A and B are shown apart, each in its own frame.
Chain A
Amino acid sequence: MSFIVRTVARTADGRDIVRPKPFDTKELTVGRSPDCDIHLADLAVTLHHVTIRDSGAGTVEAVATAGLPFVVDGKSTEHAWINIAEGAIIRIGSHALTVAIGEGDDQGRTIITVERVGAISNASEAKEETRVFSLAAVLPGKRPLAWVLALLILGVFLVWPLISIYSQPTDAARKVAFHADEMWTSGKLSSVHRALENNCQACHVKAGQAVRDDACVACHTKVHDHADPKRLAAAMGSPGIVGGTKRLVASAFNIPPGRCVECHTEHQGATAMPVTDEKFCTNCHTDLNTRLADTNLKNAADFGDNHPQFEPTIRFAAANGQPATRRVSLDANPKEDSGLKFPHALHLSAANGVARMAISLGKDEGYGAPLQCVSCHVRDATGSTFAPVKMESSCGACHSLAFDQVDGTVRTLRHGDPAQVVADIRAFYRSGAARPAVFAGMARHRPGETAGRGAGYVPATPIRVGNADQAIRAVFSKGGACFDCHQVKPTGQASAPFAVTPVVLAKRYMMKGWFDHAAHDTESCASCHAVKTSNSASDVNLPKIARCQECHGGQEAHKAVPSSCAMCHDYHRTGFAPLMVRDSRARGKAHDAIDRKSLTAAGAGA
């Protein structure tokens, strides 16, 4: 038994050169050392790595000599029996030793073919130069990357939302949660529409169709038009080249003009809805009379520069004596006929009898000092205007309607009902009139006398009169309780001999605009209302526009308070506060901007 070792070397052009070397020994040493029978110039091989021994009976034995394993047919081991007839491949380092049985001339011998199968180093592996030196070796290719990214974006941002749109209900069954089409939003909805944030289709009803008014009207059922649409169209006039082109393009895309959203812009952030710009009003109103010849409205372009004088709604007595109203410019020095006699100057004096009376009434009666505006005019719940003045609470403390006293309880005439007054007086005298009725007129009222409720009550007239007719005449005539404040006319009828002109105090003068008293708390009443010099109830004590313009200017004015139309006027004329005023309470973004503007203009801001 002997071995033939065939060493295979590869030439540069790829040919194999086989050098056979016979060994007539029973044992072969394998290692890196040059004195080994099979010399492997391989650093992964120890100097003496393996001994291959002929163990007879057609088998050879491979034994590791340095304690390091080798691989036989893919299995790592330190000792192996190899059937020569079956053959095996022993792998040591980068070399393969193929064990096989000899045939032909080599019959009876064991052939060991030695071949280098691994490269010397990692650098010597054959590699495609342009690829390994390029980034393509460490990165996925540009093309697959482009496909993956593009499809990912189309999938997440287009397909997913479309699936969501066509699969989710839009009615009440819709879940209040994230829906994929929200990724299409161009910005948060305004605070009032926040509830619609999850339901794009509430407004965007039909795919590809710009938002229609129908969607708005679905909820906003009570909003009415600014004016008759035909007159509106006439008032707008020719849109000009730019506007005309815009309208043409819009109509090409089936977008009707004058939609709600043209003014009410959405998706501008989670704040109050932005205030409509002044130009949307002034487009028409700057020279409205040139396009609407029959209009009663006066032109207005800017609050600071070009706005007509205020025209409050003034009450007057119509030809038939019935109360009526009309709008009169403050420049025309209007006189009001409310039916009441009331000189403001007299009541607000700090030194006269009225003032003394108020002081002597004391704090318990709600006075204690000369009268103030607030003594009679009290803010209503909104804060923006005042509760109607009531005779009983505002006047009654001084202007007594008392006529009798029963066991400490003062009996008073019924205010606001002349027939009842007459009946009460007659009833008093019919009841026997053991004591004369005591009436006190205001002309004889003395400071120090308490009206009404106390024991020493002040009668409606001090004249003690003997019969009912005399007493009735006294009350309704000069010096009597009614006559002091009211316009009284004799009727000539026996049952109701006198008639009192009905009193209608103005609830609101500026019917076409909005004024918020609460917003003007920094001012005193007298700084706008010249009531301290007003000696007649017919005076209309409203400030003219020039007074407002001291602080307010147009939208872009360098005034303390730049004021666009929407600060006082409501496009939809609801009778409530305009959008801007409501927004200002919600502290919207647009209002903040105006705040900042006004602060800057006033020199108080950054």
Chain B
Amino acid sequence: MAAKSLRQATTGRTRDSDHESFLRYQGFRWLKIGLLISAIALLIYAFNDVQPKPNGGSAYGYITGTIGVALILWLTMLGVRKRAITPGRWSLKSWTSAHVYLGLSLIVIATLHTGFDFGWNVHTLAYVLMMIVIASGVFGIVAYATLPQALSANRGETTQVQMLDNLRMIDRQLNEAAQPLPHAQAEIVQMALADDPFGGGLFARLSGRYPKCGTRAALAAVRADISRVEGDANDPLDHVEVLLERKRSSLSRIRKHLRLKSLLEIWLHVHVPLTFALIAALVVHIVSVFYYW
């Protein structure tokens, strides 16, 4: 970043990019449309006197409900639309921008549809699912806006395969360096070699915590080994210590990479399946409401 801005300063050129994010697309057109829809919905809600209290079964409720379900189905279509990339007014970017802002306006439309009438029933279930889907989408936008920089900084011009190759190279060196070691010490090195960089479950991926990390345990054990002669190039154990330290550093970079990547992906694992759960709940909501009209 610093180098980039320095370069810009010296050349005196402004950074010229064709890139326009889907958030700013066409001067926030869809943000404005989303806000307008929300404002109209709020305004009508404020002046609409529903007795005995606002609910989804009023005329306003039916209208916002219909708009809401149409919006949800259209928003879901982004999954289909994104697989066909076309330019122009109805470009994918335009769709994505509309997806985000109209999706956010759904918070207002659907909440007003409920009339704040919540309970332990299938109707509130649909509402809660929708809010989780929207919240995960917001998380996704924040992740997309902030995490790629950290991801790029962590990777430092290397590719995923290169990171993995580096780890394998260290492992080979470790394997060789440990050959002269007696069995007990060789077992220590085995702990590090047995480390699966992709091991650990979802929680480890998201948090970057690996409490059972073999490399760290091996490093601690080697350092605690009294037979090690520190700084002696001929001591295989000391050489192993150096290699383990390198492996630890390489592993932590991969794990940070994994953490950032999983944070970039996790929201979609919530967003997409819950969208279909939401559509199922909406089907139940609509069927039940008209079945027991």
Q: Which residues of A contact B (CB under 8 A)?
A: 32, 41, 43-44, 46-47, 66, 68, 120-125, 127, 129, 132-135, 137-139, 142, 145-154, 157-158, 161, 181, 183-188, 200, 204, 207-211, 242, 246, 249, 255, 265, 268, 274-277, 279-280, 590
Are B261 and A134 in contact, with the CB atoms below 8 A? yes
The answer on a CB contact under 8 Å between B193 and A142 is no
Contact indicator B273/A121 (Cβ below 8 Å)? no
Among the interface residues A46, A133, A149, which one has the most CB atoms of the partner chain B within 10 A? A133
**Which residues of B sit under 8 angstroms from A123, Cβ to Cβ?**
164, 167-168, 171, 193, 195-197
Q: How far is the CA of A129 from the CA of B162 in the complex (A)?
A: 11
Name the residue among A124, A265, A274 with the largest chain B CB count within 10 angstroms: A124
Segment at the A interface, from B48-56, B85-93, B98-106 = B48-56
B248 to chain A, nearest CB (A): 13
A265 and B52 alpha carbons, distance in the complex (Å):
7
Q: Is the CB of B261 within 8 A of A157?
A: no
A43/B189 in contact, CB under 8 A: yes
When distances are taken between beta carbons in the complex, the residues of chain B under 8 Å from A184 are 121-122, 288-289, 291-292
Quick check: which of B7-15, B21-29, B227-235, B279-287 contacts chain A, the rest being far away?
B279-287
Chain B residues with Cβ below 8 Å from A125 are 196
Q: Pull 27 A–B residue pairs with CB atoms less than 8 Å apart, ordered by A.
A: A43-B178, A43-B187, A43-B189, A46-B182, A46-B183, A47-B182, A121-B168, A122-B193, A122-B196, A134-B261, A135-B205, A135-B262, A135-B266, A135-B269, A138-B205, A142-B269, A149-B277, A151-B280, A154-B283, A157-B281, A186-B117, A186-B119, A200-B292, A268-B52, A268-B53, A277-B51, A280-B51
Contacts of A135 in B (CB 8 A): 202, 205, 261-262, 265-266, 269
Are B195 and A122 neighbours in the complex by a CB distance under 8 Å?
yes
Q: Which residues of A sit under 8 angstroms from B167, Cβ to Cβ?
A: 123
Most chain-B CB neighbours within 10 Å: which of A186, A187, A590?
A186
Is B252's beta carbon under 8 Å from chain A?
Answer: no
Cα separation A242 to B261 with both chains bound (whole Å): 54
- Cross-chain contact A129 with B291 (CB below 8 angstroms): no
With A32-B186, A123-B164 given, can you name 10 additional A-B contacts, CB distance below 8 Å? A120-B171, A122-B197, A134-B261, A135-B262, A135-B265, A153-B280, A153-B284, A158-B283, A268-B52, A280-B51
The answer to whether A142 touches B272, judged by C-beta atoms less than 8 angstroms apart, is yes
B35, CB-defined interface residue at 8 Å: no
CB distance from B205 to the nearest CB of A (A): 6
Known contacts A121-B195, A122-B196, A204-B293; is A186 also within 8 Å of B56 by CB?
yes
State in angstroms the CA–CA spacing of A122 and B196 once bound together: 5
Report the minimal beta-carbon distance from B189 to chain A, rounded to whole angstroms.
6
Q: Per a CB cutoff under 8 Å, which of B52, B269, B280 touches A150? A: B280
A279 CA / B268 CA spacing, docked (Å): 49
Given known A-B contacts A187-B119, A204-B293, A41 and B287 have beta carbons under 8 A apart:
no
**Interface size for chain B: under 10, 10 to 19, 20 to 34, or 35 or more residues?**
35 or more
Does the CB pair B272–A124 fall under 8 Å?
no
Query: Which A residues are CB-close (under 8 A) to B275?
Result: 146
What's the minimum C-beta distance from B155 to chain A, rounded to whole angstroms? 11
* Residue in B123, B186, B195, B268 whose CB lies within 8 Å of A142: B268
B266:A204 contact, CB within 8 angstroms:
no
Give the residue name and chain of the A residue nearest to B55 (CB): A186
Q: How far is the CA of A242 from the CA of B55 in the complex (A)?
A: 18
Taken together as a complex, chains A and B put the C-alpha atoms of A418 and B181 apart, in Å, by 134
Contacts of B196 in A (CB 8 A): 122-123, 125
Residue of B nearest to A206 (CB): B293
Chain A neighbourhood of B125, CB < 8 A:
153, 157
Q: B290 contacts the other chain (Cβ, under 8 Å)?
A: yes
Contacts of A268 in B (CB 8 A): 52-53
B-chain residues with CB within 8 Å of residue A181 when the two chains form the complex: 288, 292
Q: Which residue of A lies closest to B214 (CB)?
A: A122
A196 to chain B, nearest CB (A): 12
Residues of B within 8 A of A265 (CB): 51-52
Q: Chain B nearest CB: distance from A89 CB in Å?
A: 22
A124/B171 in contact, CB under 8 A: yes
Q: Which residues of B contact A209 (CB under 8 A)?
A: 293
The interface residues of chain A lying within 8 Å CB-to-CB of B190 are 43-44
Q: Is the CB of B174 within 8 A of A185?
A: no
B residues sitting closer than 8 Å to A (CB atoms) are 49, 51-53, 55-57, 59, 117, 119, 121-123, 125, 160-161, 164, 167-168, 171-172, 174-176, 178-179, 181-183, 186-187, 189-190, 192-202, 205, 257-258, 261-262, 265-266, 268-269, 272-277, 279-281, 283-284, 287-293
- Distance in angstroms from B263 CB to nearest chain A CB is 9
Q: In whole angstroms, what is the CA distance A249 to B66 when docked?
A: 14
Give every chain B residue within 8 A of A210 (Cβ-Cβ).
Answer: 293
Alpha-carbon distance A138/B258, docked complex (angstroms): 11
Chain A residues with CB below 8 A from B187, complex form: 43
Q: Is the CB of A66 within 8 A of B193?
A: no
Quote the shortest CB–CB distance from B171 to chain A (angstroms).
4
What is the minimal beta-carbon distance from A203 to any residue of chain B, in angstroms? 8
CA gap between A160 and B53 in the complex, in Å: 31
Instruction: List A contacts of B197 (CB < 8 A).
Output: 122-123
B38 CB to closest chain A CB (Å) equals: 23
Contact A129 B272 (CB under 8 A): no
Question: Within the assembled complex, what's the spacing in Å between the Cα atoms of A590 and B123?
Answer: 24
On chain A, the residues within 8 Å of B193 by CB distance are 43, 120-123
B284 adjacent to A211 (CB under 8 Å)? no
Q: For B178, what are the chain A residues with a Cβ–Cβ distance below 8 Å? A: 43
CB distance from B75 to the nearest CB of A (A): 15
Instruction: Collect the chain A residues with CB atoms within 8 Å of residue B117's CB.
Output: 186-187
A559 to chain B, nearest CB (A): 20
Complex CA distance for A273 and B265, rounded to whole angstroms: 50
Query: Contacts A121-B195, A150-B276, A184-B122; is A43 near B202 (CB within 8 Å)?
Result: no
Select from chain A the residue with minimum beta-carbon distance to B202.
A138
**What is the minimal beta-carbon distance from B154 to any residue of chain A, in angstroms?**
13
B288 → A minimal CB distance (Å): 4
Q: Are A121 and B277 in contact (CB under 8 A)?
A: no
Given the complex, which residues of B lie within 8 Å of A133, measured CB to CB? 160, 198, 257-258, 261
- Compute how far the CA of A122 lies from the CA of B175 in the bound complex, rounded to whole angstroms: 12
Give A161 to B125 CA distance when docked, in angstroms: 15
A46 to B179: give the CA distance in the assembly, Å: 9
Q: Do A127 and B198 contact each other (CB < 8 Å), given the known contacts A135-B265, A184-B291, A208-B293?
A: yes
- A149 contacts B276, CB within 8 Å? yes
| B276, A186: Cβ atoms closer than 8 Å | no
In the assembled complex, the Cα of A142 lies from the Cα of B269 at a distance in Å of 6
Instruction: Verify B122–A183 contact, CB threshold 8 A.
Output: yes
Minimum Cβ distance to chain A for residue B271 (Å): 9
A580 to chain B, nearest CB (A): 12
A333 to B80, CA, bound (A): 81
Whether A207 contacts B202 by the Cβ 8 Å rule is no
B269 to A139, Cβ gap below 8 A?
yes
Cβ distance A51 to chain B, nearest Cβ, rounded Å = 16
Contact B292 A146 (CB under 8 A): no
Q: Is the CB of A150 within 8 A of B279?
A: yes
Given contacts A138-B202, A211-B293, contact A277 B52 (CB under 8 A): yes
Task: Specify which of A66, A147, A158 is in contact with B276 (CB 8 Å cutoff).
Answer: A147
Closest to B159 in A: A129
CB distance from A114 to the nearest CB of B (A): 16
Indicate if the CB atoms of A186 and B287 lie closer than 8 Å.
no
Question: Are B121's CB and A185's CB within 8 A?
Answer: yes
Which residues of the partner chain B approach A66 to less than 8 Å between Cβ atoms? 183
